[in-house]
Amino acid sequence: MTKQELMTKLHQYTKHEQIYRTYYELNSEDEKQEYLKDLQASDFAKENLWLPGFFENQNRMLSEQVLFQENQDVSKNIVLQKHNRFTPAFQHEHEFFEMIYVYSGCAKHEIQNTSQSIIEGDVLIIAPGVKHALSVFDDSIIIDALIRKGTFLNQFFEFLKKDNILSSFFQRDLYSRQHQPCITFHTNKDLELENLLFDMFLEHYKDDEFSTDILSNLCRVYFAKLVRLHQSHVEIFSPIAKENEQLFRILTYIQNHYDQVTLTSVAKHFHYAPAYFSNYLKEHTGTSFISLVKEAKLSRAEYLLRSSNLSIQEICQTIGYESPAHFIRLFKDKYQESPAKYRKKYSSPFS
């Protein structure tokens, strides 16, 4: 698919958009109810469509499993799609990160009883587990990029180590109870970023053995350039209190030094007594220091299994485990299969 073919596809009306537009353009409630009689609620549920006459006041959780299966590839980390035009507001939440880009026109975003207008060039990133709704009542073109939560732990490991407003946004959701619901970048239709997003979209449609790796790399570049070019054009919904910034410095430190840290060493680095520091982490993250370190180690191991030729024993040593058997047991507990099976299933063609 060429970029011109992609643009044509984005502007063409899909079957779903035709249904939404027909419903929207009906003038009276009687006409709308008559139209709804000809539609099957079961088809709407199956295809993730929504109209006020069906599923009224129902909040829905969109799972990673359902979403990525619908896009025919459960191994994908990132899915790109056009948001249906003429869609009414529909309260929902999801297990993955969602990035919304307004290519043309505008849209209305509702979150936590607050309404936000987004316009051409705006990039909106929404955290998992956040109830929100997006409505588009005209020919505006909105692009959605849906990113697995686990992708940030293994594919974007280096980006998460950086000290910037976007990596902090992701860190808060991944490691803390005190996450931010969403963050908006006003890019003023930055063509460099827009073209990069279209490169991602084209790669999504290629869908060959290299696409998953290339798409992840393009996404990393996109986020880095988004921060480089527009970190001063950011709108943060419900910013977290300044005193909580210390927590994220601590979590970043653990993430960056997972292979050598101890509770005592990290407590000393941040000038805490070990006992107090242990309770502090438990209170603010809901988990223990040991669990945080284990999560960082296993996430790094997953990345190395996907992208390197290191043996299981070498990976075990790299992430700081002395016993391969212990590492294999922990990995299997988290991912429901052994490191060897995981590598065979998901390893990169470049490794």
Please tell me whether residues 207 and 107 are part of one structural domain. Answer: yes
**Whole-prediction pTM value?**
0.69
For the chain, what percent of residues have pLDDT higher than 90? 32
| Residue at 94: amino acid letter | H
Please tell me whether residues 73 and 221 are part of one structural domain. Answer: yes
Residue 327 sits in a domain whose CATH number is 1.10.10.60
Domain count, the chain: 2
Q: Is the pLDDT of residue 88 over 90?
A: no
Please tell me whether residues 160 and 295 are part of one structural domain. Answer: no
> Does residue 42 belong to any structural domain of this protein?
no
32-54 pLDDT, tens per residue? 878 777 776 556 666 667 776 66
> Does residue 282 belong to any structural domain of this protein?
yes
Instruction: Give the residue from 191, 207, 236 where a domain finishes.
Output: 236
Please tell me whether residues 305 and 321 are part of one structural domain. Answer: yes
Please tell me whether residues 96 and 160 are part of one structural domain. Answer: yes
pLDDT at 195: 96
> Does residue 18 belong to any structural domain of this protein?
no
Please tell me whether residues 104 and 249 are part of one structural domain. Answer: no
CA atoms 83, 49, 62, 55: torsion sign: positive
> Does residue 214 belong to any structural domain of this protein?
yes
pLDDT band at 207 (very low <50, low <70, confident <90, very high): confident
254-292 pLDDT, tens per residue? 877 888 899 999 999 998 999 999 998 888 888 899 998
Q: Collect all residues with Cβ–Cβ distance below 8 Å to 111 and sequence separation of at least 6.
A: 126, 130, 131, 132, 133, 181, 182, 237
* Contact criterion met (CB below 8 Å) for 307 and 350: yes
> Does residue 177 belong to any structural domain of this protein?
yes
Residue 161 sits in a domain whose CATH number is 2.60.120.810
Please tell me whether residues 70 and 88 are part of one structural domain. Answer: yes
> Does residue 24 belong to any structural domain of this protein?
no
> Does residue 226 belong to any structural domain of this protein?
yes
149-165 pLDDT, tens per residue? 877 766 776 777 777 78
> Looking at the chain, how many residues does it have?
351
pLDDT at 239: 46
d(CA 30, CA 78): 41
pLDDT band at 28 (very low <50, low <70, confident <90, very high): confident
> Does residue 47 belong to any structural domain of this protein?
no
Instruction: Give the residue from 191, 219, 236 where a domain finishes.
Output: 236
For the chain, what percent of residues have pLDDT higher than 70? 84
pLDDT at 146: 92
For 335, the domain range is 243-346
* Range scoring the smallest mean pLDDT among 130-139, 217-226, 295-304, 317-326: 295-304
